Structure 1
Amino acid sequence: MRKRGIRLVAGLMAVTLCYCVAVAALFGADRARTAEGMDEVLYLPNEKLLTHFTGGLNSVIADLLWLNCIQYTAREHHGLRHFTWLEAMLTTSTRLDPYFTDVYRLGAIFLAALRADADASLNLIRTGMLHNPHSWHLPYEAAMVYLMNKREEPDARYLATRYLSMSIATGNAPGGIANLTAKLQDEFSLTEIEQDTWKEMLHSEDEFLRELAQRKLIEIDLRHVCRIMNEALGIFKSSRGRPAASLEELVTAGLLRAIPEDPLGGSFFLGSDGVAYNTTLLDDVVNRTLNPVINALDSYNQQHQAWPPDLETLVRTGFLKEIPKHPYPDQHWEYDPSTGHIQ
């Protein structure tokens, strides 16, 4: 009996040591920078190999990896916002424990809302649905991705309704999901649906998720203000026969009470195209637009051991489908081929 206890303790110590080495390598390498200018380097243990060292404690290791994934996501959210290794970390966690529904659900939100990778988000959700067919959360989150991140696609509403119906079909979804489906079918405002989603997350036990929800709700308000300003700009042009020279002119004309403040520290401005913008919203779009470009630059550098001479090379060599337009009016991407830096 005593020998068995010693073997058990030794086994647990081995598992703990293996995990500590893996996580240390994971985050030590994550912070490493190479002389060639690579953005980030990461060693993430292969989940199939890692399984052999968990001693049957796959779910425990998956829990710990998920906690580290949340920390990594929070750090990136307050840092460069590249989220380069987010998908790999989520994949490792879910393969260690394919029934860990929170990783699929929250990981999909991170991929869609922060990394702006709706396809990766949906792939993660669909994998989760195969292993967890009775979870109403996963098809619900898939519907949210179509409503919030793929809203411009022609079949987005249809697919969202389809996934919501799948959520209801599990028999576990709350009554509000049926109401949401009805809202969608009746062509109610998608903004209202998005607001409800983030408001629900305000009650999360995780501080980072509450912070993210608060920010997203403010962003919704900022978009609403921009719509009001653009409506006022249209009225001004129709009544005066000329476009407004500034947003302040809308206040003078009585079309706006005042130029509101941005709680997130940004500002509103009138673009050269006559459209009202908000810098907080545009800066977020800039970061999300840059992510696939940065990933393409890194992939090119890894394959060719050099940075491309220009961004067009990424398109010609198949690393990027197209060069995205800069979100700010009259601004263009600045790329340095000697460092691979783009802004």
Structure 2
Amino acid sequence: MIKVLDLLRFAPGLLLLATLSAPPGRPAQKQGGGPLLPRPGLLQTLFKSQQGLVTDYFWIMMMNRIGIAVRPDQYRDVYDYAELVTDLDPKFRQAYLYGGITIPVHLGREKYANTAESTRLLRKGLQHLPDNEQIAFQLAYNLMFFDKNYKEAADIIQELSKRPDAPPWYSALATRLYAQSGDFDNSLSLSMALRDGAQDEETREFYAHRVEEIRQERILRDLDAAIQHYKAREGHLPDGLAALVTSGDLPRIPEDPLGGKLFLGEDGRAYSDAVKFRMELIQDERDENGERLVPKPRVTTHDESQP
């Protein structure tokens, strides 16, 4: 039985916890928004010998907030609970994952709320649990999908690919992310190493093709820059790539490493007819089936292959 003296000793703390903690309904709000929650240091002082119980209590409260949240600000409240739970127990893996995954809210038209809070929580998780693959991959997902920080995402995925049980597509994803970030040197070096170290012909062919894809994307990026330079000077897009040679923005139209014909798309970017898509992960323009739309060639009055 719990002694009366123990009850008396913990009564002030229990009362404070009940007062400052949100009940299952709408939580009390602090000035500036967000639920009013006790400070971690206060809880650690008052409940020094009951840390596990207190952590579990706020974990249950966090799950409750996830269950009843319907608005972006209510999902944002989940972040405060996750912060408190992981301050009390920095090794609480589920709090990082559940919070990181559920906090972001899609607002429509490729816009999201609470992404910074989600990424911040996952970074905290990776700091305290550096070997956790799930947290690392979710952070990489946030970085590539929400933040467009492809270089850091590639670094994380590349580290994950070194694990003995890592799936082979980790390395393939890392090469694509490096290319999308514009870090072509890293992307090429990694792809060449994977090509040369391949143990089977299929893998070797895949990375040999990836090397040429990366080289192609580098050329297309250079063409994009020339197109934008022309547009900034002339006030309109060129009729085609050949116009960039005539204007002096290009010395010549480069050859496509994949053997295709390069052309100027209706969106003002360069493309190749040798591939369906450019070497990119995310693009907002999609058709009714969710497929990315590839712009049609810009109408020209002359053969682009002949400057």
TM-score normalized by the length of structure 1: 0.44
Specify the structure having the higher radius of gyration (Cα).
2
